[in-house]
Structure 1
Amino acid sequence: MLNTLLFGFAVSLIIALALGPLVIRELKKFHARQSEREEGPESHKYKAGTPTMGGILILTALVVSCLIFNPMDLRKGLALFLTLGHGIIGFLDDSIKAVKHRNLGLTAKQKLAGQFVMAAVFCFILKEYLNFPTTVWIPFTTWNVDLGMLYYVFVFVMIVGTSNAVNLTDGLDGLAAGSCAITSVAYVVISVALGYVNFAVFSAALTGACLGFLFYNQHPAKMFMGDTGSLALGGALAAMAILTKTELLLIIAGGLYVIEALSVIIQVVSFKTRGVRVFKMSPIHHHFELSGWSEVKVVTVFWSFSAIMAILSIFVVLACK
C-alpha cells in the first residue's frame, strides 16, 4: 500500500517537473498570458505577461498517475470527473482571456452554470451508482446526521463553494498550489485511516502534481495555474471530502480557503450595507500585502496555517471517526 502511494506521488511529481518547461513554452506560443486586474495591488503589475493556464500541467500529471496505479474504481473516477470538469470550465475561461487579451473570460453566470452541471452529474452518480449514504459526520463527535434528499443540496453548495474558494485563494505566487498540496497530504492520511486505500492514490497523485507545479509557480512565478488549475483544485478538494464521508471536516482541513472566501463576503456585504471596507483589499492575502508584508511572507504564513489545520483535521479523524 505504502509503495503504491509513494509511486503515485512520485510519478505525478516527476511528470509535472519534466513537462513544466514544455508547458511554459507552449503557453507562451498560445499567448496565454496573465492580465493583472486594474484594482489589484500595484506590486503585482510586473506579473502581467507571465504564462497562465498552467493548471494543464497539474491535471496531466494527476490523470496519468491515477491511471497507472491501482484499478480505476468508481470513487476515484468520480473524483477525476469533478476535477477535470472544473478544469475544463477554467480552461474555457482562461482561453477567452488569452484570445481576447482581457482579464475577463466567462461571466459569473456561465461559470456557475458549468459548476452546477458538474455538481448535478456528480450527485446523480452518487445516488444511482454508489448508493451513497446521505449522512453527514459532525467533526469532534461520533454523531452522523441523516439529511435525506437535502444531502444533495448540501453537496451542490459544497462543490460550488469549494471551487470558488480555491479560485479566490489563487492570488499570490505559490499560495494555492502549496496550500492544496498540504490539504491533499491530509487527505492521503484520512483516506487510509478510513479504509479508502485505493482512493488515497488520488490524493497522493494530487499532492505530487501540486508540488511539481509549485517548482515553476514559486516566487517569482514562471507560470500561473489560472482558473484551469484553481477551479480544478477546488473540485478535487470537494471530491476528496465528499467521497471519504468527511464533508464538514473540509472546513477544518481547508480552513484557509474558508477564510479567503469569508473575507470577500464580509468585504462586499460591509461595503454595500455600510459603505465601509473591513479589509484594505480582499481576498485577505491582499490585505496583508497592503499592510506591509512581503508576498513571500504572506504565502509562508498562510502555508503554515494550512499545515496546522491539516494536522488538526487528521487528529480529529483519528480521535472521533
Structure 2
Amino acid sequence: MGYLSHHFLLGVYMNNPIWLLITFIVCAVISLLLCGLAKTLFPKFRSGEHKPGTHRPDLPAGGREIKTIELPLVGGPAFTIAMIATGIAAAYFLHFSRDQWLLLLIALGATLGYALVGFIDDWNKVFGNEGLSERVKFSGVFFIGALAAILYFSLLPERGQALYGVYKGLPFVELLMCVKQPLPSNTCTLLPGLPYYVWLTFFVLMTGFIGSVTSVSVDFSDGLDGLGGGLVFSAALGLGLAIVGIFDEPYGKVLEMLALLCAGSVLGYLPWNWPSSWAARHRTAKRRAKIYMGDCGALSLGGILAMVAIFSRQEWLLLMIGGAFVLEGASALISARLLTRFFRRNLQILRFASSHDFVPHTEFPLPFLATPLHHHFDLLGWDRRILVYGAWALGACFAALGVMASLPNLTWQRYLGRILILMLAAVVWSSGSWSKCYFVGKHPAERTRRRRLALYYGYPYRILGINLYHLVEIIEASEDVIETPAEELALWQRMTIFDARSMLGLYCYRAGYYPAALAQWTRIPERNRVLRPEIQHLLAEVDNRMALENLETQPMKRDQIMRREPILSGNLPPADLPNPHEPIRSAEATDGSVDPWSSIQGSPYPINNNGEQRQVTSPLRNDP
C-alpha cells in the first residue's frame, strides 16, 4: 500500500502545473544571476567584426576612422547554461521516465549544439575580427538539427518513426510510405524497408532545415537592444500555450517545460539588454543595455524553439507564432539575397543607361531601405525604444493569433486566426514600400504668409483625418523659389531620398542658403551623387556665389564648410551612420561647419564607466 500511495502522490505531483511555474521562475532567476556574473568576469569579450550596412559599401575606402562601441557577448552562454541546468535539475526532481529523459536530453543537446556554433562565431569575432561565413554557420546549425532528428528517430521510435499531420496527405508520401497498404510499417510492396528510410530522410531534412531557418531568423532579429529577446519570449510563451492540449501525455510535460525554460531564460536576460533610445552616433539618451546575447544566444534560442515545435508536431504553427521572425528572415533573404543580385545582373535603370558610372544597389527598387526589417525603420530615424516596444507588441499579436489558430475544437476561430495572421504580415511587409519613398511638399504657413518647403516620407494623402505621411524636416527656402510649372508639378510626387535631397538642395541654393544647400547635397552618398552630374556643377558654382558675399559675412570656400564624409568602420547599426534619410540639424544648415562626430571623443581607457568599449576596427572595403 505504501508503494502504491507513493507512486500515486508522485503522479499527482507531476501532473500539477505548479511545477512548471516554479521551473520558469527558477530558470529566470538563474539566468539573471549568470548574466550579471558573466558581465563581471568577462567584460572584454567584445566583438571587433565589421558588419556592412545598407549604405556602407557605397562609401569610399580610406580616410579617418570612427571609434565604435561594443558590449560583452556573454548573454548567450549565460542563459543557455541556465536553461540546460534548470531543465536537468527539474527532470531529476520530477522523476522523469526514460523516454522523457531521452526527449529532454535530445532537445537540450541540440540547444547546446546550436549555442556552440554561435559561440565559435562570437569567438572569431572577438579574437579574429571576423565571424563565420553565412554558409559555414548555416551548415553548422543544419548539421545539429539533422543529428537531433536522427537521435529522436532512433531512440524514440514510437514518436519519431510515426507519420503524422499533413504529411500523410502528400501523394508521393502515400506512395513511398505505403500508407494505404495493410502491412506492417516496416514493409512495402515496392521495396522492403523503403518507408523506414524515406521517412527518416524526410524527417532529417525537415528538422535540419526548420532548425537552421529558425535559428538564423532569431539571429537576424537580434539587431537592436532587447529586440530579439522580447520576440523570443512571446514566441516561447505562445508555443507553450499551443501545446497545453498534450500536457497529459508523457512527452507533453517535457515539451511544455522546454518552452517555459526558453521563456524564463530570456526573461532573466532582458534586464541586462533592455531597450533604450540610445544610438552610437547621437548618444543623447542613456544606454540601458549592458551585454549582448551574441550569435551563441540567438542560435540557441532559435534552436530550442524549433525543437519544441518539431517534437510537438507543431512546426507549421511555429510559422504563425513566430511571424515576426518570418518577416525578419524573409526581408533579408528576398531583398538582400535575391532581388539585389537579380537586379544587379538583369535590371537596367533607363535614367542611368547612358552613364558609365557604377549604379549602387540603393538605386534599385527594393522593398526596404535596409534589411533585416527592423533596420529599415531604424534607418528612417524612428526612436529605438519605441521601435523595439512596437516590435514586441507585434510579436505578441502573432503569438496570440497563433494560439487562436491552434485551437482544436473551434473551427471558425482557427481560420479567423490564420486569416488575421496573413493580414498582419501583409500590412507589416507593405509598410516598407509605403515608407521608403519620399516627396517634397509645402509645409503649412505658421507665422509667415509664405509656406516653406519640407521633406516627407510616405504617401501625400490623408484618410479620415489620418496622415499617411511623416514630416522629416523643413528647409529655409519658401515656395517663392519655385520657378517653372514643371517644378510645381514635381512637388508631392514620390521619389527616392537622393532625388528629394537634390531638389531641396537646389531650392536652398536659389534662395541663397548655401550652407543649407551643401548640407542637403553632401548628405547624398558619393556614388549616388555622381549619377546626378547637375549637382556637381552646382557645387562648383558655390565658390563663385560665396565670393560675392560682403566681407562682413566672412564668406568661406566650399571646401571649408563642406565636412569630410567620415569613413566608418566597426559594428555600427545602419541608422548610426550618416545617411540621407536622417533629418539635417539646424547647426549644419546654418554654417555647415558642424562635424556630427566631433562629440564622440575617444576615451584613453578601453572601457569607460558605463561598461562600454571603444575600439577602432578594420576600414571599409570598396563595393566591387
Relative to the length of structure 1, the TM-score reads 0.90
SS in 2 for 1:73: helix
User: What corresponds to 2:140 in structure 1?
Assistant: 114
**Once the 2 structures are TM-superposed, how far is the Cα of residue 136 of structure 1 from its aligned partner?**
5.2
1:228–1:117 Cα change, 3 Å: same
Whole-angstrom CA distance in 1 between matches of 2:28 and 2:48: 25
1:73 correspondence with 2:129: no
Structure 1 residue ranges without an equivalent (≥5): none
Contact 2:224/2:388, CA 8 A, preserved across alignment: yes
Q: Are 2:27 and 1:12 equivalent residues in the alignment?
A: yes
TM-score computed with the length of structure 2 as normaliser: 0.47
AA aligned to 1:83 is T
Give the whole-Å Cα distance in 2 for the aligned partners of 1:48 and 1:137.
48
After the TM superposition, which of the residue ranges 31-40 and 219-228 deviates more from structure 2? 31-40
Please tell me the root mean square deviation across aligned C-alpha atoms, in Å: 2.3
How many residue pairs align between the two structures?
A: 312
* 1:83 and 2:147 matched: no
Q: Is the 8 A contact 1:254 1:309 kept in 2?
A: yes
Deviation per CA, 1:147-200: give whole Å up to 9, x if none: 544233222211111111111111011111111111111122223222302321
- Is 1:191 the counterpart of 2:243? The answer is yes
Equivalent residue in structure 1 for 2:302, among 224, 229, 234: 234
Q: Which residue of 2 aligns with 1:212?
A: 268
1:26 aligns with 2:41: yes
Partner SS for 1:28: coil
SS in 2 for 1:24: helix
Q: Which has the higher helix share?
A: 1
Moved more, 286-295 or 239-248: 286-295
Q: CA deviation at 1:26?
A: 2.0
State the distance in 1 between where 2:55 and 2:76 align: 23
Residues 1-321 of structure 1 mapped to structure 2, 5 A cutoff: 1-29=16-44, 31-33=45-47, 35=49, 37-39=51-53, 48-70=69-91, 71=96, 73-100=101-128, 102=129, 104-131=130-157, 132-133=160-161, 135=163, 137=165, 145=169, 147=173, 148=199, 149-195=201-247, 196-219=252-275, 220=287, 221-268=289-336, 269-275=338-344, 276=364, 277-319=366-408
Distance 1:299 1:233 in 2: 18
Say if 1:53 and 1:94, in contact at 8 Å, map to a contact too.
no
Alpha carbons of 1:90 and 1:63: their partners in 2 closer, same or farther (altered >3 Å)?
same
Amino acid at match of 2:375: H
Partner Cα distance (2:106, 2:343) in 1 = 43
Distance in 1 (CA, whole Å) between partners of 2:124 and 2:49 is 12
Measure the CA separation in 2 of the matches of 1:232 and 1:79: 11
Moved more, 183-192 or 170-179: 183-192
* Alpha-carbon separation, structure 1, partners of 2:55 and 2:311: 38
The AA in structure 1 aligned to 2:43 is K
User: Whose relative contact order is higher, 1 or 2, with alpha carbons under 8 Å and at least 6 apart?
Assistant: 1
Aligned partners of 2:53 and 2:370 also within 8 Å: no
Equivalent pair of 1:164/1:231 in contact (CA under 8 Å):
yes
Deviations 1:107-163 (A, max 9, x none): 22322332232122112112211121554535xxxx954654423322221111111
Q: CA separation of 1:144/1:47 partners in 2, compared to 1, >3 Å: closer, same or farther?
A: farther
Query: 1:2-43, CA deviations, whole angstroms, 9 ceiling, x for partnerless residues?
Result: 2111111111111122222211122214x334656242789x
TM-superposition CA deviations, 1:67-107 (whole Å, max 9, x none): 1213362222121111110000001110111112x2x2122
The AA in structure 1 aligned to 2:234 is: I
* Secondary structure at 1:319 match in 2: coil
Q: 2:404, 2:309 → 1: CA distance?
A: 16
- Indicate conservation of the 8 Å contact 1:135/1:145, yes or no: no
Structure 1 partner of 2:478: none
Q: Residues of 2 paired with 1:137 and 1:249: CA distance?
A: 12
